[in-house]
Homo-oligomer: A and B are copies of this chain.
Amino acid sequence: MINDKLPKIWYGGDYNPEQWGEEEWDEDVRMFKLAGIDVATLNVFSWATNQPNEDTYDFAWLDEHIDRLYKNGIYTCLATSTAAHPAWMAKKYPDVLRVDFQGRKRAFGGRHNSCPNSPTYRKYSERIADKLGERYKDHPAVLIWHVSNEYGGYCYCDHCATGFREWLKEKYETIDVLNKTWNTKFWGHTFYEWDEIVPPNALSEEWGANNTSFQGISLDYRRFQSDSLLECYKLEHNALKKHTPNLPITTNLMGTYPQLDYFKWAKEMDVVSWDNYPAYDTPHSLTAMRHDLMRGLKSGQPFMLMEQTPSQQNWQPYNSLKRPGVMRLWSYQAVARGADTVLFFQLRRSVGACEKYHGAVVEHVGHEHTRVFKESAHVGQELAQLSDKLLDARVHAKVAIVFDWDNRWAIELSSGPSVALDYVNEVHKYYDALYQQNIAADMISVDEDLSQYDIVIAPVLYMVKSGYAKKIEEFTTNGGTFITTFFSGIVNENDLVTTGGYPGELRDMLGIWVEEIDALAPEHKNQIVIKNKLGKLEGSYECNLLFDIIHSEGADVIAEYGSDFYKGTPVVTSNKVGTGKAVYVGTSPEASFLQDLLSNLSEEKGIQALLDVPHGVEVTERWKDGKAYTFVMNHNSEEITFELESTRKELLTNQTLSGSVALEGYGVMILE
């Protein structure tokens, strides 16, 4: 349990009373209670208020709000306010200001704006965390610490340059090792002194979004910046921990955010929390994947949904309303996949600045007679009634999908073979194939123990880190099914190619040699032609993007290319390894192929859909004390029906169901 002071699914969200006055504060409390809100996140962006100048700290305003809320039964998720530095600090200590990718020194503005290697920022962010820890360590209202907010963005200033060199020295020890690792003989970039190295940005090695002349330095700079921000987090974390060793600490992450290695971050966090902001056209399965990824950061430990909008966002191109029922549906989607909180950004809408058109529980109209408020209150009542029933429940998955930020960075930075290759998209294609069949999957790091899984899928495992090939081989040898794809096994963790034939360290296990990798414009298709009908796999499927030209070195050929000069050569192979097998998909297939392939492989392992439901209905399970809680979530706007094999209790309605069951459009059931 995140904090047993409040043994239920927490409900509430970001609250900025400092933007309002007495009158609204009273109304807020009245309405929060109406809505069943029991947690408010305070102090997210109040550094300038807390510390009006270098020497003065003033938390009286915060005391007041925490107390007022607590008296009314509302707990506090207490933020440290360091996600935007005060204007006075930027003026007095410009080192807090970042230098951007273009090499431009920033001026005061925006948020998430501090250089992570700024001595001033580190000093004062640690100090305010320390002061908050000291002040609120015994306050009964405080449930959890919320360090900073949505960490992200890179800096390229001189402090970062110096820090980067230190980081490199620690990693490589000698400049010779660095030169070798970055292959600096290429284009004569040999470094003789550490201080010849400059941050890779638009003035030096990089251009555009992810283009670089040297993958080595660019990859390391991403690691360094992720580490630098993590260091900032840790400074605050430790300062707080000193005062409150038992209070959990988190910071809110952002799903598949590209810039930070969240697996590394999660190790330093007590509980993972994240902000879920799908666009109007985000596939439901991508949201699901992100939830599962957040759950996977700490090996399945329940996480917090820290932010979602009650209805509308403001920063999308087109900010559609969440249709009636959809906020509830998506809230339960989070819970269904491991969230133990349902929190909003925000509880009351601002009247000024750029988020004033972001939805809130209390809208600009200021009263409770709105659709959004009513739906919010409805969910609040349901969560109250659910009590602690689902807390700490675990998802059980026998299938795992590997996700790795280092690998992602390396793929994104790669020059060739195709600009159309997008790691997250490729991972999502495999995830979606399982999702459409309601087969549970974990999203795991390369550090995860594989023995708990029957099937491990590692799409585009371009980078094979030290020891990982061996780990997979053990998994397959012991009976596991491993699946990987084109453009895998190519480089080591420093993005240096493993010579001797693709897919490098995976070659033996996969029983294939990839001689060449063709890349065609996305509109150019080839076909995956199944050699012999195999379970659901039959006939021909489309594929595009990349096309490995494969020689079997022992692997069974499941399918061959249907056209081009490599027509008739292997495209999908399967190799027996010990009691398991290793499957290779040498191209980027259409969805139906992956569904059929993964259906076959799952069936072999006795893994089945959790429930047989119509298209567009998502089904998951969380387990607790040997009991399964089955979530049935209808993403269709129309009612659907499905068959229950046994009699089940529905938790939200307390009805007992069996046989043919109807579920309204955007409806949710939790079957005990």
Given A48-B188, A108-B198, A318-B520 contact (CB < 8 Å): yes
Per the bound structure, the CA–CA distance linking A106 and B200 in Å amounts to 11
Give the chain B neighbours of A47 by CB distance below 8 A: 188
**Interface size class of chain A, counting residues whose CB lies under 8 Å from the partner chain:** 35 or more
Per the bound structure, the CA–CA distance linking A16 and B183 in Å amounts to 12
Given A111-B213, A188-B48, A319-B519, A182-B353 contact (CB < 8 Å): yes
Q: Are A87 and B320 closer than 8 Å at their CB atoms? A: no
Interface residue? A600 (CB, 8 A): no
Within 8 A of B (CB), among A343-399: 349-358, 363-366, 370-372
Interface residue? A73 (CB, 8 A): no
Selected contact of A515 from candidates B84, B105, B319, B365, CB within 8 Å: B365
Given A193-B88, A213-B110, A352-B182, A415-B188 contact (CB < 8 Å): no
CB-CB nearest in chain B for A415: B354
Give the chain B neighbours of A280 by CB distance below 8 A: 520-521
Interface residue? A419 (CB, 8 A): yes
Within 8 A of B (CB), among A308-343: 311-321, 323-324
Q: Are A357 and B319 closer than 8 Å at their CB atoms? A: no
Selected contact of A86 from candidates B111, B188, B212, B370, CB within 8 Å: B188
Per the bound structure, the CA–CA distance linking A185 and B351 in Å amounts to 11
CB-CB nearest in chain B for A324: B565
Q: Are B520 and A320 closer than 8 Å at their CB atoms? A: yes
What would 15 more interface pairs be, CB under 8 Å, given A48-B189, A110-B204, A365-B501? A45-B188, A47-B188, A48-B192, A87-B190, A87-B197, A91-B195, A103-B104, A109-B206, A184-B353, A214-B353, A280-B520, A318-B519, A320-B519, A323-B565, A364-B501
11 contacts between A and B (CB under 8 A): A49-B185, A87-B197, A103-B104, A109-B204, A109-B205, A109-B214, A186-B353, A186-B355, A280-B521, A281-B521, A319-B417
Interface residues of A (CB under 8 A from B): 16, 18-19, 45-49, 52-53, 81, 84, 86-88, 90-91, 102-111, 181-193, 195-206, 212-216, 280-281, 311-321, 323-324, 349-358, 363-366, 370-372, 414-420, 494-502, 513, 515-522, 565
